[in-house]
């Protein structure tokens, strides 16, 4: 798949590169795996003289030998003695950057914590000493979100405050998804939503699906739910390293949220644990869930629902992890029958997020959310306001919008509208075919 989008990020990287001609610059690119961090850095760097160093799970000595071979293949420089520690290799890179502007990409940077925790302090010391007298454009990439935050944003960590930019790379927006599908001969709006629902706009997944001509719902499910599919173990591959030995508890919580058990009290009742600390870490440290409160709720209100922020992981926990014994026995027809039965229910919730994302991307609203009252009464799928222009959009969202009653929606909205006297109200029944109204 060709390179798409990322124009803002590329522009920012170019600006930092230009600035590195005067004094060194450090950029951090993070975000979940498969979101295209390495692809972004290389797309930028191929226009310049650069080194790409991947931190694999090897000893520091072996890594340094590998990196030194790479450096010497590109730069004819003499090296006296063995380089067995990364601090000495980094010192060599600094010396190179004193004579010419150099981009260095360090991928999977967080692996230094395992290989040699002292590396971050050593980089900090060398950076502080030489930053102003060399032309090093350093890009640090990391996929373990919690560790990258700790390394570069933890106030007690040596590299705190050193990064000139910290980019959190997000999946492709819906407009880019539409372009990708159209480029592959799939312009349909139903396919656009299903692709959003199953991939969440992640470039790696889109690359897999486009490369296998699997862009309709049936073909996507056929490709994902079969023996040797790269999607089957994806949730475990992505998250076990993040969670460590407590991954079982985190997986159980995420599984319940994916099933629709979105309140803390529900989760605690089923698991029979105090889940507050786990939920807080999932939200604040790992960025895997988000809390939702009713539109216009008081800041300290206790009516809270949680949702998995990543569409693919929501699907994985709902249909694959929940049926893992069937995966292990190769009973994929069974899993597919579960998906056929429950997909529309799961996708209906994703469709609400789809229209919230579309509303946000349209730039027409400053506040976007959903509304409900205690006991999940008077639920409204989409509420969006433009408080400057005093406009409010109130919409119900369904895969089959012919089942929506605007009169019933108006009745459910009476209490909400009490807070919006003087606002012009737009009522809407929305289905996947209505995406162009926001694009």
264-323: pLDDT as tens digits: 999 999 999 999 999 999 998 888 999 999 998 877 777 899 999 999 999 999 999 999
Q: Give the per-residue pLDDT at 80.
A: 66
Q: How far apart are CA 170 and CA 9, in angstroms?
A: 11
The answer to the question of residue 55 being in a domain is yes
Kindly give the interhelix angle for 234-243 and 247-259, rounded to the nearest 10 degrees.
130
140-159: pLDDT as tens digits: 999 888 899 999 999 999 99
Q: Give the per-residue pLDDT at 142.
A: 94
DSSP 46-79: TTS-EEEEE--SS-HHHHHHHHHHHHHHHS----
253 and 195 fall within a common domain: no
130 and 276 fall within a common domain: no
Say which residues have a Cβ less than 8 Å from residue 150's Cβ, sequence separation at least 6.
Answer: 157
DSSP classification of residue 298: -
113 and 248 fall within a common domain: no
161 and 180 fall within a common domain: no
- At 434, give phi and psi (nearest 5°): -95, 5
330 contacts 169 by C-beta, under 8 angstroms: no
Q: How far apart are CA 303 and CA 263, in angstroms?
A: 9
pLDDT averaged per 10 residues, the chain (length 439): 94 97 96 94 93 94 93 81 90 92 96 94 96 96 90 95 96 97 96 97 96 95 96 92 89 95 94 94 92 84 90 97 96 96 96 97 96 86 97 97 95 92 96 95
Give the alpha-carbon dihedral of 130, 21, 69, 123, to 10 degrees.
Answer: 30
In this structure, the chain runs to a length of: 439
Q: How far apart are CA 14 and CA 105, in angstroms?
A: 14
215 and 302 fall within a common domain: no
367 and 388 fall within a common domain: yes
46-85: pLDDT as tens digits: 989 999 999 999 999 999 999 999 998 888 777 767 889 9
Nearest to 20 by CA among 45, 1, 55, 53: 45
307 contacts 254 by C-beta, under 8 angstroms: no
The answer to the question of residue 250 being in a domain is yes
The answer to the question of residue 347 being in a domain is no
The answer to the question of residue 235 being in a domain is no
Give the alpha-carbon dihedral of 322, 325, 329, 334, to 10 degrees.
Answer: -40
157 and 129 fall within a common domain: yes
The answer to the question of residue 341 being in a domain is no
The answer to the question of residue 292 being in a domain is yes
- Residue environment code for 179-193, b if the CB has 16+ CB neighbours within 10 A, otherwise e: ebbeebebeebebbb
Q: How far apart are CA 189 and CA 242, in angstroms?
A: 35
Q: How far apart are CA 182 and CA 144, in angstroms?
A: 33
50 and 113 fall within a common domain: yes
Helical H segments across 172-317, by residue range: 174-183, 189-199, 203-211, 217-224, 234-243, 247-259, 264-271, 276-284, 311-315
Kindly give the interhelix angle for 174-183 and 189-199, rounded to the nearest 10 degrees.
120
185 and 157 fall within a common domain: no
Nearest to 34 by CA among 207, 198, 235, 202: 202
- Bridge partners (DSSP) of residue 161 are none
Q: Give the per-residue pLDDT at 91.
A: 93
152 and 86 fall within a common domain: yes
> Regarding beta strands 136-142 and 102-107, do their DSSP bridges make them parallel or antiparallel, or are they unpaired?
parallel
pTM of the model: 0.91
End position of a domain, from candidates 122, 144, 168: 168
- At 396, give phi and psi (nearest 5°): -110, 145
The answer to the question of residue 229 being in a domain is no
DSSP classification of residue 108: S
48 and 187 fall within a common domain: no
| Structural domain for 298, as ranges | 244-330
Nearest to 376 by CA among 266, 213, 276, 300: 266
The answer to the question of residue 92 being in a domain is yes
200 and 323 fall within a common domain: no
| 307: CATH | 1.10.10.10
Number of domains the chain contains? 4
């Amino acid at each position: 798949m060709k390179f798409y989008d990322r124009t803002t990020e590329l522009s920012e990287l170019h600006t930092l590169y230009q600035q590195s001609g005067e004094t060194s610059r450090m950029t951090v690119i993070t975000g979940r795996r498969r979101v295209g961090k390495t692809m972004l850095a290389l797309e930028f760097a191929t226009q310049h003289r650069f080194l790409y160093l991947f931190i694999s799970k090897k000893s520091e000595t072996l890594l340094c030998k590998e990196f030194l071979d790479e450096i010497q293949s590109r730069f004819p420089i003499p090296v006296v003695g063995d380089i067995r520690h990364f601090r000495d290799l980094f010192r060599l890179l600094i010396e190179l950057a004193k004579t010419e502007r150099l981009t260095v990409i360090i991928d999977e940077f967080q692996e230094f914590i395992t290989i040699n925790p002292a590396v971050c302090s050593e980089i900090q010391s060398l950076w502080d000493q030489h930053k102003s007298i060399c032309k090093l454009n350093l890009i640090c990439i990391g996929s373990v979100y919690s560790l990258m935050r700790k390394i570069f944003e933890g106030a007690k960590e040596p590299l705190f405050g050193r990064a000139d930019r910290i980019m959190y790379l997000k999946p492709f927006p819906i407009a880019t998804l539409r372009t990708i599908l159209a480029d592959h001969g799939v312009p349909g709006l139903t396919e656009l939503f299903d692709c959003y629902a199953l991939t969440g706009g992640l470039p790696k997944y889109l690359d897999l699906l486009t490369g296998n001509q699997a862009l309709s719902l049936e073909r996507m499910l056929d490709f994902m739910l079969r023996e040797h599919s790269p999607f089957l173990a994806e949730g475990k591959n992505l998250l076990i390293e993040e969670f460590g030995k407590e991954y079982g508890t985190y997986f159980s919580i995420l599984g319940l949220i994916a099933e629709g058990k979105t309140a803390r009290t529900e989760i605690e009742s089923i698991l029979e644990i105090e889940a507050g600390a786990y939920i807080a870490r999932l939200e604040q440290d790992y960025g895997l869930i988000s809390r939702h409160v009713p539109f216009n709720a008081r800041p300290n209100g206790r009516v809270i629902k949680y949702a998995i922020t990543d569409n693919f992981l929501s699907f994985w926990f709902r249909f694959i992890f929940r049926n893992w014994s069937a995966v292990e026995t190769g009973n994929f027809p069974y899993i597919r029958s579960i998906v056929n039965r429950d997909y529309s229910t799961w996708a209906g919730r994703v469709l609400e997020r789809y229209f919230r994302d579309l509303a946000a991307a349209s730039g027409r609203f400053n506040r976007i959310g959903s509304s409900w009252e205690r006991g999940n009464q008077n639920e409204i799928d989409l509420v969006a306001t433009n408080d400057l222009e005093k406009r409010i959009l109130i919409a119900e969202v369904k895969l089959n919008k012919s089942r929506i009653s605007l009169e019933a929606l108006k009745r459910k909205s009476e209490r909400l509208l009490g807070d919006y006297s003087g606002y012009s109200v737009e009522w809407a029944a929305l289905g996947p075919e209505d995406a162009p109204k926001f694009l």
